[in-house]
Amino acid sequence: MDSLRPFFPIFLFFLLTPSHARLRVDYYQNSCPHAESIVRSAVTHMFQQTFVTAPATLRLFFHDCFVRGCDASVMLASWNNTAEKDNPDNLSLAGDGFDTVIKAKAAVDSVPECRNKVSCADILAMATRDVIVLTGGPSYAVELGRLDGRISRKASVRHHLPGPDFKLDKLKAMFAPHGLTVTDLVALSGAHTIGFSHCSRFSRRIYNFKSKSRIDPTLNLEYARLLRQMCPKNVDPRVAIEMDPGTPGTFDNMYYKNLQQGKGLFTSDQALFTDAMSRNIVNVFASNNTAFEEAFVAAITKLGRVGVRTGKQGEIRHDCALVN
Ligand code: HEM
Ligand SMILES: *[C@@H]1O[C@H](CO)[C@@H](O)[C@H](O)[C@H]1NC(C)=O
Ligand SMILES: *[C@@H]1O[C@H](CO)[C@@H](O)[C@H](O)[C@H]1NC(C)=O
Ligand SMILES: CC(=O)N[C@H]1CO[C@H](CO)[C@@H](O)[C@@H]1O
C-alpha cells in the first residue's frame, strides 16, 4: 500500500492537471492593473447604445468556449471565409458581441502599460461578466490568463455546438466532455433569459411538428399561437423575437418559470423541464433566484476554463480578428 503511494500523485499530475491551473483572478495585477475597469466602462458604453450588446456578448463567449476552447478563435476572420464565424450558425452571432470585444480591446490598448498585454479571450470573459451585471444578473470574479488561439475553422463548429432541436441526452453529451454537469447545463441555459432568436430556429415546433395540430405538444398552446403571429410562415429571415417573453431585458430566473408553463422557445429549452432527469433542477431555479445565480456563476466559471491555452499554445493578439 505505502509503496504504491508515490505513483499516484505522479500519475494524477499528468492525467488530471486541469488546463485552467494557471488562470487567476489577479492575473493582470502587475501588467495592467485597471484592465477590468477599462473593459467595464467600454462595455457599459456599448450597452447604453444598444441592448443587444448584452445577449450578443454572452452568446459569443459560449460559442468561443465550446469550439476549440475559450481562446477567442471565434473572433478570427479569414480572407477565404473558412473561419468559425463563417459557419452558417453565425447569423445568430450578432455583430454587437464582436464590436464589444474590439472596442474594449482598443480601450485597454490605449493605456500604454497595457498595450498588447491583455488577450482577446480574457476581454471576452470579462465583458461577459459585465453584460450579465448590466442586465441585472450576479457579479462574480472572472478567472484570467487565457491566451488567444491561432486556429479557427468553420468545420469545427458543427460538432461542437448544440442545436435548438436537441433533447437532454444530446445536450448532456455535448456538455459533459467539457466537465459540465446536468446542473451546469440547466444553469447555463438560463442565459436564454435575455436575447433574441430568429424564427427559423423554432419554426418546426409551431408549423411542422409530427402531431395533429402540427404544434409541439410540450409547447404552451397560447404561446404557440403568439409565436405563429410573430413568425408567420414566410417571415423575413431577419426577424428575431425575444426568448424570454416574461422579462426579456433582465437576467433573472424567469426563464425557468417559463419552462414550467411550456414557454421554452426551443426544444432544447423545454426538454430541460420535460425530462424528469433535469425537471427538479428547473423547479429549484424557478422558485429561488439565488440558487439560480449561484449555480450560474459556478457553471460559467467552469465554462471559462474550457480548453484554455497557456504558454506556447497561444499568443496575445494585437487585433482580435487576426493572428499576430
Ligand atoms: C444548451 C444548448 C443551447 C442551445 C441549443 C442554444 C441555441 C441557441 C439558439 C438557436 C439561439 C438563437 C440564435 C438566433 O437565431 O439568433 C440562441 C441564442 C442565445 N443563446 Fe443559446 N443555446 C444554448 C446554450 C446557451 C448558453 C450556454 C449560453 C450562454 C451561457 C447561451 C446564450 C445565448 C444568448 C445570450 C442568446 C441570444 C443571442 C442574441 O440575442 O444575440 N445559449 N441560443
Ligand atoms: C483558407 O485559408 C486558410 C488560412 O490561410 C488556409 O489554411 C486554408 O487552406 C484556406 N482554405 C481554402 C478552402 O482555400
Ligand atoms: C435559495 O437558495 C439559496 C442558495 O442555494 C439557499 O441558501 C436558500 O436557503 C434558498 N432559499 C429557499 C427559500 O429555499
Ligand atoms: C453576419 C455574418 O457574418 N453573416 C455571414 C454568415 O455566414 C454566411 C454563409 O456562411 C455569410 O453569407 C454571411 O455573410
Q: What is the mean pLDDT of the chain?
A: 92
pLDDT above 60: residue 228 = yes
User: Going by CA atoms, what residue is nearest to atom 32 of ligand 1?
Assistant: 59
Instruction: Specify the ligand 1 atom closest to the Cα of 188.
Output: 27
Q: Tell me which of 87, 91, 98 to substitute to probe ligand 4's pocket, judged by most ligand atoms within 8 Å of the beta carbon.
A: 91
Distance 93 CA to ligand 4 centre (A): 10
Backbone angles phi, psi at 306, to 5 degrees: -65, 125
Ligand lying nearest the CA atom of residue 75:
4
- 208 contacts 259 by C-beta, under 8 angstroms: no
Q: How far apart are CA 101 and CA 42, in angstroms?
A: 9
CB 290 near ligand 3, within 6 Å: yes
Average pLDDT of the segment spanning 287-314: 96
Q: Which three cell numbers stand for residue 56?
A: 450578443
CA pair distance 236, 163, nearest whole angstrom: 21
Within 10 angstroms of residue 283's Cβ, the number of other Cβ atoms is 15
CB of 88 sitting under 6 A from ligand 4: yes
User: What cell was used for 44?
Assistant: 457599459
User: By alpha-carbon position, which residue is closest to atom 1 of ligand 1?
Assistant: 189
Domain boundaries, the chain: 2-161+306-313, 180-302
Same fold, 2-161+306-313 and 180-302: no
CATH 1.10.420.10 describes domain 180-302: yes
304 marked among binding-site residues: no
Alpha carbon separation from 43 to 10, 85, 129, 202 (Å, rounded): 44, 21, 10, 30
Q: Is the CB of 298 under 6 A from ligand 3?
A: no
* Distance, CA of 34 to CA of 181 (rounded, Å): 34
C-alpha cell at 206: 409551431
Among the listed residues 119, 115, 137, the one whose alpha carbon sits nearest the alpha carbon of residue 128: 137
Higher pLDDT, 33 or 1: 33
pLDDT tens digits, 214-226: 999 999 999 999 9
Give the pLDDT confidence score for residue 89 in this predicted structure: 67
pTM of the model: 0.91
Percentage of the chain beyond pLDDT 70 is: 92
pLDDT in tens, 127-162: 999 999 999 999 999 999 999 999 988 887 878 899
Interhelix angle for 120-134 vs 95-109, to 10°? 110
Give the nearest ligand 1 atom to 166 CA.
5
Q: Identity (one letter) of the amino acid at 93?
A: L
Q: Which sequence positions are flagged as catalytic?
A: 63
Span 2-161+306-313 CATH architecture = Orthogonal Bundle (1.10)
